[in-house]
Amino acid sequence: MYPNRLKPNSHIRIIAPSLSAAIISSTTMNYACKRFKEMGFIVSFGEHISEIDNFGSSSIQSRVEDLHNAFEDQSVDAILTIIGGYNCNQLLDKINWSSIKNNPKIFCGYSDITILHNAIFSQTGLITYYGPHFSTFGQKILDNYETDYFLKGTASEKPYLIEPSKNWSNDKWYLDQDNRNFIENTGYWVIQEGQATGQIVGGHLGTFCLLQGTRYMPTLENKILIIEEDSEPANPNEFARRLQSILQQPSSNKIAGVLIGRFEKSYGMTQAMLSEIVKTITSLADKPIIANVDFGHTEPHCTIPIGGAVELTTQNNKGYIRVLNR
């Protein structure tokens, strides 16, 4: 079930189902508001997004209330999360899934929001978007790649290729908006060759693991798994065992393919190391795997539909990623 696409003057509601908006600087908020105005959208904010407790979030009740209100408000066309964090899974047993299913809307964010993306898809069939947070648009120096792919995913029904960005960054831009460090992108890593088409599930690997054994975990059968990690724990061994854990799920031997986001610099992951890890996992044998893709905890981000269909193709050691968008 695809939601209606964004159009000029669409109303976007910003909510904080993970960490509170109180941790976001006024500078970042102002830049983000300016970006959405330039894109022709109207922005409003959930009532409780700036509440904050000892864990950096608002109460479970407040977060669920803002989520429900965003889906049920008929003036709202799309929902963006303000930022990720740690504890979206606190909300799952409190969510009215019928309310979401009966009011399908664009829902976008990443990292801890992995929990909500996959739970929404498994419980309602609604396709959501693994892409930038509202705060992501608060960068003073924002790559056009970010906005272009956000609009390709949420404002168009046309299929689109996800191509590598020209440059990427892994700096703490939110601490110093004027001094940025951009790195030339060397392109995709083709870890294993092949061709596959399937629906997308996954997101942040450590967070996706939290859904194992719950009713919110989507099946991996005939799916394209997308995974990425942040700098915690910054350890390829931890990545290897988390990936192995996910791929010990029932039906994982029927997975169609894998997309892996770019690792942060501190992770120390190399293409050779990642290839070695993949070779230890028998359920991935002969599956197309493309890595170093522009999603995760570096900048910029592409936007990928969770539950949507994608084609993976490799040829002459080059990877091609085509989102079908319907």
Please identify which of the residues 146, 228, 264, 299 carries the catalytic annotation.
Answer: 228
Would you call 117 a catalytic residue per the annotation?
no
Q: Quick check: 126 and 1 in contact, CB under 8 A?
A: yes
Containing 208, the helix (H) or strand (E) segment is helix 205-208
Please identify which of the residues 169, 297, 299, 311 carries the catalytic annotation.
Answer: 297
Q: Quick check: 103 and 71 in contact, CB under 8 A?
A: yes
Amino acid present at 192: Q
Q: How far apart are CA 135 and CA 152, in angstroms?
A: 19
Could you tell me which residues are beta bridge partners of residue 198? 310
Residues whose CB falls within 8 Å of the CB of residue 318, separated by 6 or more in sequence, listed in order: 187, 188, 190
Q: How far apart are CA 42 and CA 13, in angstroms?
A: 9
Would you call 301 a catalytic residue per the annotation?
no
Residue 149's alpha-carbon distances to 90, 134, 286, 323, 325, in angstroms, are 30, 14, 29, 11, 12
Burial class from Cβ neighbours inside 10 Å (0-12, 13-18, 19+) for residue 10 reads: buried
Would you call 135 a catalytic residue per the annotation?
no
Please identify which of the residues 10, 111, 135, 252 carries the catalytic annotation.
Answer: 111
Sheet with 195-204: strands ordered across:
160-161, 318-323, 309-315, 195-204, 223-228, 257-261, 289-293, 189-192
Which sequence positions are flagged as catalytic? 111, 228, 297
